[in-house]
Amino acid sequence: MDFLVLFLFYLAFMLIGVVTICICSKTHCLKGLVRRGAQIFSYIIPECLRRAMLRFLHYLFHTRNHTFVILHLILQGMVYTEYTWEIFGLCQELEFSLNYLFLPYLLLIVNLVFFALSCETNPGTITKANELLFLQVYEFDEGMFPKNMRCSTCDLRKPARSKHCSVCNRCVHRFDHHCVWVNNCIGAWNIRYFLFYLLTLTASAATMAVVSTVFLVQLVMVSDLYLETYVDDFGHLQVVDTVFVIQYLFVTFPRIVFLLGFVVVLSFLLGSYLCFCLYLAATNQTTNEWYRDARAWCQHCPHVAWTPSAEPQVYRNIHSRGLWSNLREIFLPAVAHYERKKK
């Protein structure tokens, strides 16, 4: 029974890790998945249950709520509880350095600070008061961001690189994406906090994976397990190999092995997304711009037949000013300083 619970726990963690990347990179991926899933379930689920499920999904992903923030904190708490309960004490018995063992906790504190900043910082909401200021920040490319466009919802002139977020119901300056895990839009004024949050979250998962791996390897070395022999199913004496060691560790320390598997997969997923975000920052692009450009060039789709007059326009990134200038724009947004001086 304990093994089944751990296995289901592991599966849930893996799925949540994948969904995290999909949601954070672009909500459109999830929308398509939900839409296809709804079509399949429409044949097997009664109408009343289907309506209730759609209302629940709409509440989760199309309205501002703290569901994923709470889920994030619960999952983080569970992982660190398991680390403290299982690994920390055993590593102390093996005389691991305390600086080494306390590193995940230090990263946790820093991560929670940037998590709170990502949640609470104004991403760059466009209002009547600052509309003219934002209009002067970026030049219009007359392609993806044409001049003299108005937001049909806010009735404001749309600055270049801005977008109206349907979840938050506001226009956001240099809109990147809406992240349900921080219950906030990611825009010009909080993108730097989001990047540090993502960096420390990846680092904490990777550090925990390294500590867990070193502990298991050290345990095998201290116990001289690799020098032992065993009798196989045919009665033959066999030298302990890698497969046998993994099986032994899995049976002896199932929680630690499951935790290791989870943080390794999570490190890979978060690390991949972090590299993507750093690429966007280095080239002065947003997720919204990258997605719209990629969608425009999706000519390989068999359901799309492009005519010569309807071919997608080539998107030119006119905002990139070189690596250091691009990073300075992310971490030292000029408009944010101007707003603070006004106050």
| Active site amino acids | 179
Which of 37, 20, 58, 289 lies closest to 180 in space, CA to CA? 20
What does the CA dihedral 25, 186, 27, 156 come to, rounded to 10 degrees? -140
DSSP state string for 262-303: HHHHHHHHHHHHHHHHHHHHHTT--HHHHHHHHHHT-TT-TT
Closest C-alpha among 129, 133, 127, 130 to residue 151: 127
CB neighbour class for 237 (10 Å; exposed up to 12, middle 13-18, buried from 19)? exposed
d(CA 68, CA 62): 12
H or E segment at 177? strand 177-179
b/e per residue, 3-13, with b = 16+ CB within 10 A? eeeeeebbeeb
- Reduced to 3 states (helix: H, G, I; strand: E, B; else coil), residue 305 is coil
Chain Cα centroid distance, residue 181: 8
One-character DSSP codes across 72-93: HHHHHHHHHHHIIIIIIHHHHH
Of 103, 118, 105, the C-alpha closest to 76 is 105
Sign of CA dihedral 173, 175, 178, 183: negative
Side-chain half-sphere exposure of 70, counting CA atoms within 13 A? 5
Cβ partners under 8 Å of residue 217, min gap 6: none
